[in-house]
Amino acid sequence: MDFLVTHAPILIVALPLVAAFAIPLISISRGGDRGRNIFSLVIFSLICFLVAILAVNVHTVGIRVYTFGATAAELALPGGYMVPVRIIFEVDGMSMFMGIIITTVTLAALIYSLHFLKGQTGQARFYSLMMLLYAGMIGLAFTGDMFNLFVFLEIASIAGAALAAYRTNMADAVEGGFKYIVISAVSALLVLFAIGILYAQYNVLSIAALAYYMQYTPLDMIALGLLVGALVMKLAGVPLHMWAPDTYTVAPAGTTPMILAASYISMYALYRVTFTMYGGLLNTTAIGWLVIIVGVLSMFVGVMMAVHQTDIKRMMAYHAISQGGYMLLGVGVCLAVITDPVALASYGRDAMNGGIFHIINHVFYKALLFMTAEAIFFRIGTRDTNKMGGLARNMKWTAGFYIIGALAISGIPPFNGFASKLLIYESVLKFSPVLSVIAMFVSLVTLASFAKVFYSAFTGPEMPAYKEVKEVPKSMIIGMSILAVLIIFFGIFPGLIVNTIVAPATNALIDQAAYINAVMGAVP
């Protein structure tokens, strides 16, 4: 048990990598498909177990540092050294928060895909890529140095793009995947360029050491600009959102939620850079307002583009951009008042909690919605809402999950979207009432557009073409119900969730010194 607790950070990244390369081998052996499915599930349950152990550990003892190749895992600074020379994983509240999100979503996606893929070619590669995407995302959440951030970003991008273009017989799928890989390649190279600039000045790559030595010279400002530009492009913030609708629309079932989670991992990297690495050196009021403006633009443009879409997944993809705006709005408000202790205590911290809490809520309900859209596509072979109708007669579970997701995204109690949106509305109202009103207005339009799709797809007279449509297979229902149960649970006990996982994440981002001390503590 001690061994598992000590080495959990590396095992969580290494296991999916090993599994990714073992899966094709198992597929070609005797037993084939069935053996592979069981193997993927077993490995992933093991990973879930390790994540749970690590989460409890981080919650009780605080920041965990894992040093590769050191005599003791906690030994970030070898005796006599001034800077950390080894590769480091640094797991704090925020990393663990992202870890919980992507592990849950990947588990649901994996179970959902078991039946969805039945009878298709290239299944082995599908599961391989899924494990690689998971390894890339979880590595990005745990890594403590800038260069590995680039490497894991690239692993996640390559796996994500290959998954988005998985249905290569469809021209639009390849196009969506290609857009994703181009955007990812460009943004990853910009990140690498920024890392080069930072390394040239400080001769260190560890995030904690960079934060410790940071001088905020003009070159650092250029690096910050490059990093922020690249990561905003990767998380699909307006005005760099053009790839998101295309990629989310075409990605096959189960992987759309994972690619969505990959966008929020980029958001995590953005927070890591701005809060932890540059921290107090920034002009926080200006940066805060910049984040608020990007957030409000994303909210508004995303929802306005979503209203008139007829492709069900494309509509949801634009809503994903719009909901991303809420997260940026909450965090931006906190950033704008971070130097003012009174405002920070009265509403800044709540705004940040709301923004962070919204990440987990949004990933869960949007993943559920994408899965219901894919369930419809799985049964009737079209994503066009004008061609659907009366589906609730035969697909009762799917219709029920759609209602849960749609009410959650519109911020209706007792679902989880309400909890985080209320936190954002309340705290933003104290900062600037206009912003709060815009946020509520966007929520209303969201509800309207989901209601519209619900009526055109699920209600109405039975259509002769869809008389024989059946409910989706069991594994897809189980995958969706995991998320639905979590959505309702989070909606009923928001206080519990905020106190146990969201507040530690917020504190981890605001408390820059703790992150630095965990690695650089021994430096005089």
Partner 1 sequence: MENIAHNFPFVASALLLGVAFYIVIFRKNLIKLIMGIAMMASGVNLFIVALGYRTGGNAPIYTDVPPGPMVLSVPQALTLTSIVINVAVLALMLTMVIHTYRNTGDIDSEKSRKLKG
H-helix segments, 432-473: 433-458
- Judged by CB under 8 A, the residue of 193, 289, 378, 454 near partner 1 is 193
Give yes or no for a contact between 94 and 271, defined as CB atoms under 8 angstroms apart.
Answer: yes
- 186 lies in the binding site for partner 1 (CB under 8 A): yes
- Judged by CB under 8 A, the residue of 169, 215, 218, 464 near partner 1 is 169
Strands 88-91 and 64-67: antiparallel
- Judged by CB under 8 A, the residue of 14, 52, 82, 170 near partner 1 is 170
What's the gap between Cα 94 and its chain centre?
12
- 82 lies in the binding site for partner 1 (CB under 8 A): no
- Judged by CB under 8 A, the residue of 174, 219, 307, 344 near partner 1 is 174
Of 297-356, binders to partner 1 (CB under 8 A) are: 305, 309, 314
- Secondary element (H or E) of residue 200: helix 171-202
* 421 vs 32: CA distance, rounded Å: 46
Least distance (Å) between residue 348 CB and partner 1: 37
Least distance (Å) between residue 126 CB and partner 1: 15
Binding segment (CB under 8 A) for partner 1, from list 5-13, 179-187, 426-434, 452-460: 179-187
Give yes or no for a contact between 250 and 176, defined as CB atoms under 8 angstroms apart.
Answer: yes
- 182 lies in the binding site for partner 1 (CB under 8 A): yes
Q: Looking up tokens 């990440």, which residue turns up? A: 359
Least distance (Å) between residue 154 CB and partner 1: 5
Q: Which of 438, 429, 442, 437 is nearest to 305 (CA)?
A: 442
Q: Dihedral, CA atoms, 442, 448, 451, 457, nearest 10 degrees?
A: -100
Is residue 89 helix, strand or coil? strand
Give, in degrees to the nearest 5, the angle at Cα 274 between 269 and 280.
Answer: 150
- Judged by CB under 8 A, the residue of 245, 257, 324, 417 near partner 1 is 245
- 177 lies in the binding site for partner 1 (CB under 8 A): yes
Least distance (Å) between residue 192 CB and partner 1: 5
Give yes or no for a contact between 317 and 298, defined as CB atoms under 8 angstroms apart.
Answer: no
Least distance (Å) between residue 130 CB and partner 1: 16
* 374 vs 371: CA distance, rounded Å: 5
- 156 lies in the binding site for partner 1 (CB under 8 A): no
- 200 lies in the binding site for partner 1 (CB under 8 A): yes
Give yes or no for a contact between 109 and 254, defined as CB atoms under 8 angstroms apart.
Answer: yes
Q: What's the token pair of residue 298?
A: 């994303």
The residues facing 143 across adjacent strands are 89
DSSP at 465: G
Binding segment (CB under 8 A) for partner 1, from list 135-143, 159-167, 426-434, 464-472: 159-167
Q: What's the token pair of residue 39?
A: 């193997």
Q: Which of 296, 352, 285 is nearest to 326 (CA)?
A: 296
Least distance (Å) between residue 85 CB and partner 1: 9
Count of residues near partner 1 by CB under 8 A: 40
* 188 vs 155: CA distance, rounded Å: 10
The residues facing 101 across adjacent strands are none
- 222 lies in the binding site for partner 1 (CB under 8 A): no
> Between 29 and 310, whose beta carbon lies closer to partner 1?
310
Binding segment (CB under 8 A) for partner 1, from list 87-95, 152-160, 285-293, 424-432: 152-160
Least distance (Å) between residue 310 CB and partner 1: 9
Neighbours of 28 (CB within 10 A): 9
- Judged by CB under 8 A, the residue of 95, 106, 128, 157 near partner 1 is 157
- Judged by CB under 8 A, the residue of 87, 178, 339, 522 near partner 1 is 178
> Between 138 and 192, whose beta carbon lies closer to partner 1?
192
- Phi then psi for residue 145, to 5 deg, are -135, 155
- 120 lies in the binding site for partner 1 (CB under 8 A): no
Q: Looking up tokens 């600039």, which residue turns up? A: 197
- 239 lies in the binding site for partner 1 (CB under 8 A): no
- 358 lies in the binding site for partner 1 (CB under 8 A): no
Give yes or no for a contact between 427 and 494, defined as CB atoms under 8 angstroms apart.
Answer: no
Q: Which residues bind partner 1 (CB under 8 A)?
A: 147, 150-151, 154, 157-158, 161-162, 165, 168-172, 174-178, 181-182, 184-186, 188-189, 192-193, 195-196, 199-200, 205, 245-246, 249-250, 305, 309, 314
